[in-house]
């Protein structure tokens, strides 16, 4: 749709990536999302674009060439497993290149058109390190997109917010030594992959530019929104990014089977609203969301719909189909966030 305030990036070949029978990161995730978006008339209200496969040289700007060859060769043989959780089919290498291509296209359009994008991609990416695929992830879509913004489009600083329930160890590792990327992750801890504690803050010139907000099981909307208001907003204001990127995982929803957080559809909508405001205030609306986790189909599709509705300012009111758990008491929220704020005051004004 011409003139839309948001771009949706999608390619039907994403459905061809098959990590194995019974795998939680299944094609039905995207099918459920697209069906709900279609049912609410979203595709007629936003601009839908299809990406091309990312060139190898853009992928190897982040990933070891030997690792990229390993993924290509495994797929060409019909598939296999990079680890016990991360399977490939014959179509997976092309799907992964299209996922990277989707984020790169969104980054290009963010700079050329100054509007947000939501990338409905799979396979996901935030666990993939420079030399290893893991946690359902093959290539690190957002990290490659951030590197493209810095190296090709002239961005000076990129802020990556990760609200997936699982810590994005791959993004953290890739940018651990640089002050050009501020990586901030809100995640359940302890949980797979076992990284993302307070003392992981970056190294060398990148010290202070990795910010981890590890949260206990049971943390919900009020914990996240207070963290946004008291930590995320001040940090972004001081960092002044040229681009904001979001690792948009929805496995923090209370119905998700792989985590124990208590976020709701309304909570995701409120976070998206805050991120949209940050992009407006600090980087001329240059904003790229990329789908990561989320494995309950109903919770995932509703949460994505609510997010897109906020980004496009469509005025949607999307609710959970069942009653969410009660919020934590204010005193418990303060107890959870106090040590995180104390740790970050070493590097940032909070």
Enumerate the active-site residues. Answer: 127
Q: In terms of DSSP bridges, do strands 158-162 and 116-119 run parallel, antiparallel, or are they unpaired?
A: unpaired
DSSP 13: G
Residue with tokens 């208001």: 229
Q: How far apart are CA 116 and CA 106, in angstroms?
A: 8
Q: How far apart are CA 171 and CA 211, in angstroms?
A: 12
User: SS3 of 64, please?
Assistant: coil
In a 10 Å sphere around its CB, with 0-12 CB exposed, 13-18 middle and 19+ buried, how is residue 230 labelled?
middle
Closest Cα to residue 107, out of 98, 125, 119, 95?
A: 119
The CB density around residue 172, as the number of other CB atoms within 10 Å, is 24
* Residues 159, 198: Cα–Cα separation, whole Å: 18
| Burial class of 91 by CB neighbour count within 10 A (0 to 12, 13 to 18, 19+) | middle
CA 231/CA 56 separation, integer angstroms:
37
Does an H or E element contain 245, and which?
strand 243-248
Rounded Cα–Cα distance for residues 29 and 263 (Å) = 19
DSSP for residue 153 = S
């Amino acid at each position: 749709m011409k003139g839309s305030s948001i771009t949706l990036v999608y390619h039907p070949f994403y459905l061809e990536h098959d990590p194995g029978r019974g795998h939680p990161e299944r094609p039905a995730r995207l099918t459920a999302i697209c069906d709900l978006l279609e049912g609410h008339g979203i595709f007629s209200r936003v601009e839908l674009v299809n990406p091309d496969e990312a060139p190898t040289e853009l992928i190897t700007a982040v990933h070891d060439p030997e690792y990229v060859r390993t993924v290509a060769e495994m797929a060409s043989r019909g598939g296999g497993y990079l680890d016990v959780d991360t399977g490939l089919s014959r179509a997976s290498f092309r799907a992964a290149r299209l996922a990277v291509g989707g984020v790169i296209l969104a980054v290009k359009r963010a700079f050329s058109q100054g509007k947000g994008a939501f990338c409905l991609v799979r396979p996901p990416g935030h666990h993939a390190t420079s030399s290893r695929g893991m946690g359902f992830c093959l290539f690190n879509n957002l990290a490659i997109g951030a590197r493209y913004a810095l190296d090709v489009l002239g961005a000076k600083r990129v802020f990556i917010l990760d609200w997936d329930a699982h810590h994005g160890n791959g993004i953290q590792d890739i940018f651990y030594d640089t002050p050009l990327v501020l990586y901030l992750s809100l995640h359940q801890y302890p949980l797979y992959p076992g990284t993302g504690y307070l003392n992981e803050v970056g190294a060398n010139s990148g010290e202070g530019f990795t910010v981890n907000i590890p949260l206990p099981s049971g943390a919900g909307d009020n914990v996240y929104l207070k963290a946004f208001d008291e930590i995320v907003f001040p940090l972004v204001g001081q960092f002044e990014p040229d681009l904001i990127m979001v690792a948009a995982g929805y496995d923090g929803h209370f119905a998700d089977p792989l985590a124990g957080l208590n976020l709701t559809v309304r909570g995701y909508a409120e976070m998206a609203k805050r991120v949209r405001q940050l992009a407006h205030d600090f980087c001329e609306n240059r904003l790229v969301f990329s789908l990561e986790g989320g494995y309950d189909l109903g919770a995932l599709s509703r949460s994505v719909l609510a997010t897109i509705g906020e980004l496009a300012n469509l005025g949607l009111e999307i609710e959970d189909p069942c009653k969410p758990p009660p919020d934590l008491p204010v005193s418990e929220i303060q107890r959870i966030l106090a040590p995180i704020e104390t740790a970050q005051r070493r590097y940032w004004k909070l």
